[in-house]
Amino acid sequence: MRTAGLVEYLARRAELDVVVFREAGAPDPRTGRLRELARRIIVIELPTHSRSHRARVGRNLVRLLLGVPPLVDRFARFEQQIAERLGESRYELGVVEHFCCAPYAALLARRVKRLVLDMHNVESVWHERCSKIEPWPVSVAHRRFAECCRRLERRWLPKYWRLLVASEADAKLVQAIAPGLKACVYPNSIPHRQAPVRHEEEAIAFTGNMEYLPNIAAVRYFARDVWPRLRERWPRLEWWLVGKRPEAIERYTRGVAGTRIWGEVEDAVQVLARAKAAVVPLQAGSGTRLKILEAWAAATPVVSTSLGAEGLAGLAGEHLVIADTPQALLEAVSALVASPALRKRIGQAGRALYEREYTWEAGWRRLEQCLPLPQL
C-alpha cells in the first residue's frame, strides 16, 4: 500500500518507468492499475523458492554463514538483467523501494540524477526487536542479521540523495545509524474512503499478513496470555484473524475457543467496521502499522501496544488505547466491549485523524516537500 501510493504520486507528476520483481505464480504486474500509470513496466522474475520449513531453515543457515540478510539475498544478483532492460535510459529521479534493494544504487547512479531510497522499515532495528521476543535459536539468527543490516545500512544509505522513512521515530533511528543523512518523513497511508456503516458484532479483530513474523509473534502472545482470560470474561466474544496466509498461525489458534480465521479478504476496512475493537498486540516491528490506519478508516477503536502504535500521531486515550501488558490489554479491550460510548468516542477520533493525516492525499502533501517533482 505504501508503494502503491508512491507510484500514484509519481505517475501523476512525471513519466514513470517501473522495475518490478515478481514471484512465481504472482499476478502479472503489467496488467491492472500499474499498466495505466506507468510508461514502461520491466518485470524481473524471481526464482521459485520452496515455502517449506526445511527449505527456509536451509536458506537462512546459508545466509547466516555468509552474513547476508534474508531479503537482501532474495533480491540480489539481478544487476545484469536490470541494466539490459533499462538500456541507455536516463532519469531525473529514481526511487528504490525497500532497503533490500539498496545495493542497486551503484547500477542506478549511472542513469539517475537524484536517487531516493524508500525505507518501509529500519531493518537493523526490525531484526534486533525480533531477537528479543523469539526463542533460541531464532533469536540468535536475528541478532546476527541485525548486525549485518547495521553494517550494510552504514555502507549503503549514504549513497542516496534522500531517504524516505515512515515516521519521525524512524528518521531519528536512521540518523543515529548514519549521521548527516537527509531523511524525510513520508507516512504510511491508505486511499481515502467514505466511512463504512458500522454494524458491530460480538468480535474483536486482528488484521495483517499472518506470515509476517511480528504478526505471528503477536498472535502467539495474545492467544497465550490474553485471549483465554478475555474469553472467560466475555464468553460470546469472538477473536477474528483477518489476512492472508493464515496457515502460519494455525498452531497458535488450533482448538482455541472463540477464534475465527477469515483468511485474506477483499476489504479489511469493511470487516473491521463489524468489530467492536481492533487489537494490535505487537512486540516487534519497525515502520508504522497499516492495520491501525485501516481500523481508523473504519472508525473502529484500537487497542495497541506502544510499539504497535510507534510512529503514528495518535494520542493514547484519545485516538487509541495503549496497553503494554497482558493485564492492561485485558482491561482495555474489556472496557471497549462494555461501553458503546467509549467505542464511539475513540473510533470517531481515530477516523478524524486518518482523514487529516493518513490518506494518500495527506501523504502526498508530505512528499511534495521531500521530492521536488514540480521542477522536473
Give the predicted TM-score (pTM) of the model. 0.95
Backbone angles phi, psi at 273, to 5 degrees: -65, -10
Predicted local confidence at residue 182, as pLDDT:
86
Among candidates 294, 246, 290, which has minimal Cα distance to 269?
A: 294
Predicted local confidence at residue 373, as pLDDT:
67
Sequence-ordered alpha helix ranges (H) in the chain = 2-11, 33-37, 53-66, 70-74, 79-86, 105-108, 123-133, 138-156, 168-177, 213-225, 227-233, 250-253, 268-272, 290-297, 326-338, 340-357, 360-370
Query: pLDDT, tens digit, for every residue of 68-85?
Result: 999 999 999 999 999 999
- Domains defined for the chain, CATH in brackets: 2-190+361-375 (3.40.50), 203-358 (3.40.50.2000)
As a dihedral over the C-alpha atoms of residue 343, residue 348, residue 353, residue 355, rounded to 10 degrees, the angle is 140
Q: SS3 of 97, please?
A: strand
Helix (H) / strand (E) element for 43: namely strand 40-45
C-alpha cell at 26: 504472482
How far does the chain reach from its first CA to its final CA, in angstroms? 25
Q: Which residues of the chain have pLDDT under 50?
A: 375-376
Predicted local confidence at residue 325, as pLDDT:
98
Predicted local confidence at residue 375, as pLDDT:
47
Number of other CB atoms surrounding residue 75 within 10 Å:
17
Predicted local confidence at residue 51, as pLDDT:
85
Cβ atoms of 240 and 271 closer than 8 Å: yes
C-alpha cell at 183: 531523511
Query: pLDDT, tens digit, for every residue of 146-190?
Result: 999 999 999 999 999 999 999 999 999 999 998 888 899 999 999
Predicted local confidence at residue 376, as pLDDT:
46
Give the Cα separation of 99 and 126 in Å (integer).
Answer: 12
Q: SS3 of 277, please?
A: strand
Helix (H) / strand (E) element for 115: namely strand 112-119
